[in-house]
Amino acid sequence: MTDLAINGGPEAAADLEIPRWPQCTETSKEYVLDSLESEKWCRIIDGADWVDRFEEEFAEFHDAEHAIAVSNGTVAIELALRACGVKPGDEVLVPAYTFIASASAIACMGAVPKFVDVDPDTFNLDPESVREEITADTVGIVGVHFGGYPMDMDELLPIVEEHELFLIEDAAHAQGSAWRGERVGTFGDFGTFSFQQSKALPAGEGGIVVTDDDVLAEEARLVHNIGRAVGAGYKHTMLASNYRLPELQGALLCAQLEKLPEENERRQRNEELLVSELETIDGIHTLRADDRITDRGYCVYNFRYDAEAFGGLSRDRFLEALTAEGVPASSGYGLPLYKQPAFSREQLGALVPPGTDIPVNRHRHLPGVEKIMRTNVRLSHTALLAEDDTVLAIPRAIRKIQENVDELLLE
């Protein structure tokens, strides 16, 4: 007789109720239809106001003085880098475990991304690794609030100040996160956010940069609108690309932002419920608790798996069994960024000035990142929107696998 679903038994998480995503609400339809029928679909058309409205509302939500909406989260980072004055050949530190855009945006500016280790208990930059990697060529840091869990700003900001670096907070995962009562994205020179379909604040595509610096904000607005101020006609004061967000997406984002606080509250309640159970399971390691994190945004939820507590069952086989039990889980990013072919010396050499020192990334080995690659289990933020207490089906499924692991070890 088999008990595990992967072998034909009943699913332990059959009652896990995860809502569809993204959600097209009646308010979303109303706002987008209003924008559609206005026939003002580009933000620079006289009378177009949905993107302006979203910028104002998002700036207020994230306690920022300025917000500039752009076409996606990748160009948000590029825009911030350019506004910070990054030049070809400059060196910018970036975590080695994150989505590629955090680092590819640096390379696309002709600068050199230098990969830094992460803390496997938080998935964020390891401050000691940051200190070790800074050189005379380092001009700034692109740090990531991974999964919506804020970076340790108490440790990171003194390093930035000591070495006179800029800091760009990649907050693509962190709409609504706060550190000591202050929303993320406002600690550094810029914060950047993504509104891609999988995010907690989705519009298919889209992004935004926020800053409290008036000068940087003016520079960013010029860069995002082909080198001209909005309303300046055909007078272009710099060479730049077009990063503007369309009005239709601005309307959609206004509707999605209205429901985000309530959704984040539900995610936070469900995370607390989930973690209270996961922490009682031998071999499951949750994110480090930190009372300096005073609010949470979400994109994914990560925990680490110790194969020894499951009789030596590999993480990948564990994921297959967990998915079969009805829990949609994955291992996360497939490679550390330093092992991505895109960051080979040949690829980077085509973008940076001749003679630039380019690291041999394929030879890197960062222990925190490598530990995550072996042990990570990822859930989508939608799992934290589970109805009622059905999120408890997740630890129930994990316990079931642990109790019946011999079924898998004897295969």
The predicted pLDDT at position 265 comes to: 97
Residues catalogued as catalytic: 99, 170, 173, 196, 199, 228, 234, 244
The predicted pLDDT at position 212 comes to: 98
The pTM (predicted TM-score) of the whole model is 0.96
- Quick one: CA torsion of 349, 243, 249, 207, rounded to 10 degrees? 50
What end-to-end distance do the CA atoms of the chain give, in Å? 14
Task: List pLDDT tens digits, range 259-275.
Answer: 999 999 999 999 999 99
Residues of the chain with pLDDT under 50: none
Inter-residue contact 80 to 283 (CB < 8 Å): no
Domains in the chain, CATH or no CATH each: 5-16+260-333+371-409 (3.90.1150.10), 26-257 (3.40.640.10)
Inter-residue contact 321 to 408 (CB < 8 Å): yes
Query: How is residue 360 written in tokens?
Result: 């041999």
The predicted pLDDT at position 411 comes to: 64
The predicted pLDDT at position 6 comes to: 97
